[in-house]
Structure 1
Amino acid sequence: MSKHVARLTSSPPSVAVVRELLQRVRDIGGDADAILRRAGFARGADAASPAAWECQLSREQFSAVYRDCVAMLEDYVSRRAGRPAMNKKEVDLLCYCLISCATLEQAIGRAADFCAMLGGRAGELSLRTAGSRAEFCMHTFHEKRDVSAFLSDLTGLSTYARLFGWLIGVDLEPLTVEACYRPLLDDAVIAWLMPHPIVFEASDNYLRFPARYLRQPVVRSIGEFDELLRTFPFDLTTEQSKSAPLSERVRTILGIALAHRAALPTTAQIAAQFGISAATLKRRLAEEGTSIQGLKDRCRHELALDLLRDQLLPLGEIALRLGFSDAASFARAFRSWSGRSPSAYRLSAVVS
């Protein structure tokens, strides 16, 4: 096995990556010029002459070119194997299936189940732990390990690495990648597509990272998924995992518990999920201008507003859904949040 240490990506879109991708599309007989036109370049832009378009390359255009090139290459590899490729809609559905998972370990297990339903079109996923290390395997069924298959698998590994970090709101560090290929692309291109150390000519495709991340809670909401999937996994210049403050991650955990009619976790339980002490959790939330109680009140208030719009739902049942012992306790809390009673809010919702 050979080791390749990738350089971190810079912020502007990489012309070198686009050149490489377009060349690979041309190699399989694809229309690279049409890809440029769909990405918004002026008619007449020539994939073989990057000087005519490279100065125009924006983040959005990079994502569009990357998406179309990978789709064409994956379709080529899949047709060669006699099966359809996994499409963007199926990738989106896979991601949505993970939203209700409690931990990263559960999310990886569900992703493996989803891919198994596709009968090998999305490869075969597995997870195992050895001591303090976790090993995620993405086995694909490519008979020919050429550059098209390499690009397809490298994109898959990159997608999972960024998705897993995004789900729990932290990067998987340190992360080591193994690929069952020779380094079939230029170093700069590989570094853009996978900015982590890569071991080549391995037995399969792997992501190896500290096993402690498997216990981390999934902290994303459905609204965040909607926003992510507008460009994911093709916008390589957008930082995926670091966009969730601790307070938002805690709020998501509380919101999920309420949505599943489960008891709200205690401060100690939440702190344990993040691998920190209760005191550290309180301090970091205070630095963000909030507290566990404040986040619980916010989540209960938001859910109460939603439930009160259902005119047929009794106040007593709403109280129980929110974790209150009775309707009177709920009414007192609601008045403290909004300055009016639940009944008054319900009436105003009908009028409006």
Structure 2
Amino acid sequence: MARRTITVHHVRAVLRGAERHGIDTVPLLQSAQIPPLLLGDDRARITAPQFARLFRELYRSTQDEFLGLGSSPSRPGTFAMMCYAALGCRDLGAAMERGVTFYGLFPGGPDLVLSRTGDAAVFTVRNDLEQDFFLAECLVIIWHRLCSWLIGRRIPLRWADFGHPPPPHKDEYELLFGCPVRFGAERTGAGLAPHWLNAPLVRDEDALAAMLRRAPFDLLSRRDYGTTVAEQVRLTLATGLRASPRLPSLGEIAARLALSPSTLRRRLALESTSYQELKDTVRRDAAIAGLAEGREPIADLAARLGFSEDTAFHRAFRRWTGTTPGAYRYAYRDGPGGQRS
């Protein structure tokens, strides 16, 4: 199944801490099999495995769980100990409070706040982390997905606020956070229904140890839980693409979901997307993954993705990324290793 790809803006952002500390990031990119040339193209994207490898390289080189992005480093193992401390709590609210208290013990650590109002529980990241908003965003994502993991259910966010102006890749945010977003807010944070704080924790130490072996990237990765109509449509398209170049039509997917085509269109519109947009995203991500792997001829890749002509694939890929499939593969061939065909 095609996994979601990551915008080059996030690649640049995650490198800032290492660059700030004088670390040469080119070898790190090469170890992650990311061509450094891609960083100059605003519309470029990389695969999830590449981003995961880059995270591991940065973690190793900085010896900092914040990858050099914070005002003070977070020693390796800090996040794990916070998780173990939270695991014994009676419910999610108590676990979140314990986590906030835990990080508050470290001078220069993130200023995390959990507040409760009548109709929402609000988790915010304040103070100096706003100077590097990428780290603040990552903390909100990690905490949200850690909380969902702890209770074994996806927690829908009501909204996400960001204390910085809209970035060039602002359209990525609703998909990344799964909720309405707002920029230029007083703080960076997210809100959820307060009843989630009463949910019991369902994980044990063995499950936590397994999760920590994959952290933090698995927590940062956007998962399709199938809890929204858009996720169900994307999963259906991605599964269909793996089996056949012919993707299911909107009508066929509507029938599988026991909806009329007009109702499916309306539901997708309410989630700020459309069948065509999801279809393009699935094809784009599969195309980038295929080109990054470098083994499949471009004509075969185009046919596998359902394009009847190479020229149609080239036009679509240029619309998605701003470059051609050949140029994208060339960056990989002349980038890390220099030996791909």
Q: What is the TM-score of this pair, normalised by structure 1?
A: 0.53
Task: Give the alignment partner of residue 52 of structure 2, picking from 56, 63, 69.
Answer: 63
Q: Give the whole-Å Cα distance in 2 for the aligned partners of 1:183 and 1:56.
A: 19
Q: Give the whole-Å Cα distance in 1 for the aligned partners of 2:74 and 2:224.
A: 22
Tell me how far 1:223 sits from its aligned partner.
Answer: 1.1
SS in 1 for 2:214: coil
Unaligned runs of 5+ in 1: 1-9, 243-352
Tell me how far 1:64 sits from its aligned partner.
Answer: 2.2
- CA deviation string 1:227-272 (max 9, x = no partner): 1112222134463989xxxxxxxxxxxxxxxxxxxxxxxxxxxxxx
Aligned residue type for 2:161: E
Tell me how far 1:46 sits from its aligned partner.
Answer: 3.6
Q: Does 1:34 align with 2:27?
A: yes
1:312-327 alignment runs, 5 A limit: none
1:139-218 alignment runs, 5 A limit: 139-142=126-129, 145-146=130-131, 149-187=132-170, 190=173, 194-218=177-201
Q: Give the whole-Å Cα distance in 1 for the aligned partners of 2:4 and 2:172.
A: 14
Q: Give the whole-Å Cα distance in 1 for the aligned partners of 2:91 and 2:204.
A: 14
Tell me how far 1:169 sits from its aligned partner.
Answer: 1.2
Aligned residue type for 1:31: D
Query: Relative to 1, partners in 2 of residues 1:183 and 1:125: Cα closer, same or farther, differing over 3 Å?
Result: same
Q: What is the TM-score of this pair, normalised by structure 2?
A: 0.54
Unaligned runs of 5+ in 2: 227-341
Query: Relative to 1, partners in 2 of residues 1:22 and 1:233: Cα closer, same or farther, differing over 3 Å?
Result: closer
SS in 2 for 1:135: strand
Equivalent residue, structure 2, for 1:263 = none
SS in 1 for 2:104: helix
Equivalent residue, structure 2, for 1:342 = none
Name the stretch that deviates more: 68-77 or 208-217.
68-77
- CA deviation string 1:33-76 (max 9, x = no partner): 2222333x3xxx6412479xxx9965433212145558869454
1:263-302 alignment runs, 5 A limit: none
Whether the 8 Å contact between 1:20 and 1:189 is mirrored in structure 2 is no
Q: Give the whole-Å Cα distance in 1 for the aligned partners of 2:96 and 2:213.
A: 22
Task: Give the alignment partner of residue 100 of structure 1, picking from 70, 88, 96.
Answer: 88
Q: Does 1:126 align with 2:113?
A: yes
Task: Give the alignment partner of residue 4 of structure 2, picking from 1, 12, 17.
Answer: 12
The runs of at least 4 consecutive aligned structure 1 residues that moved more than 6 Å come to none
Tell me how far 1:25 sits from its aligned partner.
Answer: 6.5
Larger radius of gyration: 1
Q: CA RMSD in A?
A: 3.6
Equivalent residue, structure 2, for 1:256 = none
